[in-house]
Structure 1
Amino acid sequence: MGRLAVETSRPPGGAVGWTPWNPYGRIDWYETVEFHADDFAWWMYHGGDLARLRAHLAAASDSEYVAAADQVATMRATGSIRARLISSYLLPQRQDWVEADLADPMTVGLSRELTRLLVPAATTAAQLDRIAQLTGGAPLDSILFGKAHLYNMVCQVGPTSAPAVAALLDSCRTVKDRQFVAGILAQLPSDEAYRALLERSDQPGVATALAKADKRCPRRATRFSESP
């Protein structure tokens, strides 16, 4: 399904006159189903479907989950790079799959739309670094599909995600976005996260998050204030 996309095309001959479904005389466009290459950048068409599948899998019973995982494993075995990346996205518990995808030479040079499927499946900072390499050092905001993927990444990688979140903070374009990302950093119980906030405390929207971090971990804040 991921290789199928509905494309809007103009009929041969260009513009047409009035038709029952086109009473205003506009160009009479029509839609066709196109079958694309395996590395087609298709997330815009089917990303919502995969997100819903992943949500259903997370809420499935143990028996349902095992049965579904067996089906996904069968699809992964087809050898398609798309099927492999989708399987890692759907079942992030299978870290052996994620590691295999990150090490696979076929993953190098893929479109970001495919490689970014591995972001919400990552559980280590080393995996995030590898994803950054595969995407040519692309800013994190360009390979995240919204807040859900960011939440996945932070929850699964934990405090060691601080450098990636700090890099995302640097790419924020609005104060609102900066407040949101800084608020995530403020909740990470690590010196690295706190230092990232301190170094950016003069940026609009960061001071509030820093104050919350001080209240959350007062001993850490005191230790930093006393250090030379």
Structure 2
Amino acid sequence: MAGFDLPRRLAAEALGTSLLVATVVGSGIMARSLTPDRALALLCNTLPTGAILVVLITILGPVSGAHFNPAVSMAMALSRRLPASDCAWYALAQFSGGVAGTVGAHLMFGLAPLALSTHDRTGPALWLSEGIATFGLLAVILAGLRFERSAIPWLVGLYITAAYWFTASTSFANPAVAAARSLTDSFSGISPASLPGFIAAELAGAGIALALTTWLLQPHVQPLTVEARP
């Protein structure tokens, strides 16, 4: 992020989140128009999402860090990788970009710009799924920053592709994307009433991941031993 001022970083976060959400929502609309098979529709929704993450993180990562996710920005601020004063601005850019992405996807398919979702996704199992998915995402990012920074775009893209399938919530582990999904009544939608539980689970999962990985990835320095002299 060296050399890029805050307005440019915020623009990158808004643009990246917008394109990400447009991919999530647009591929969901396309999937349901092509097949009534829910498993095949989920696959059609999953593959473009994982692919666009690799692209967006690769090209925008050097500008803003390519968070596209308030939970990631929160963890970066708490770990002092992002100035705390920038965190709220990042979240605002991400939520705004997410809404723009939903509007863009709807307009591309000839739908009303916004439509509140009627897909209820609530209950302990889904909250646990969302928390675990976000925990895994943050663990992947933090471990990638520690050991293999250049691989992060692929690590995140592959992880989210997997998380769609191993979690009951078909998770995206992202409060900004969850909020944007509440504004579409398509395959990928989440009802507004379901948002508080989703977002609380995502932030909790991110916090636990930050605490655990901070401990786990901290190098252990063996104490020096002084040999006794005769």
Shorter-chain TM-score range: under 0.3
| Bigger RCO (CA 8 Å, 6+ sep) | 2
Q: If the length of structure 2 is used for normalisation, what is the TM-score?
A: 0.22
Larger Rg: 1
Question: Which is helix-richer, 1 or 2?
Answer: 2
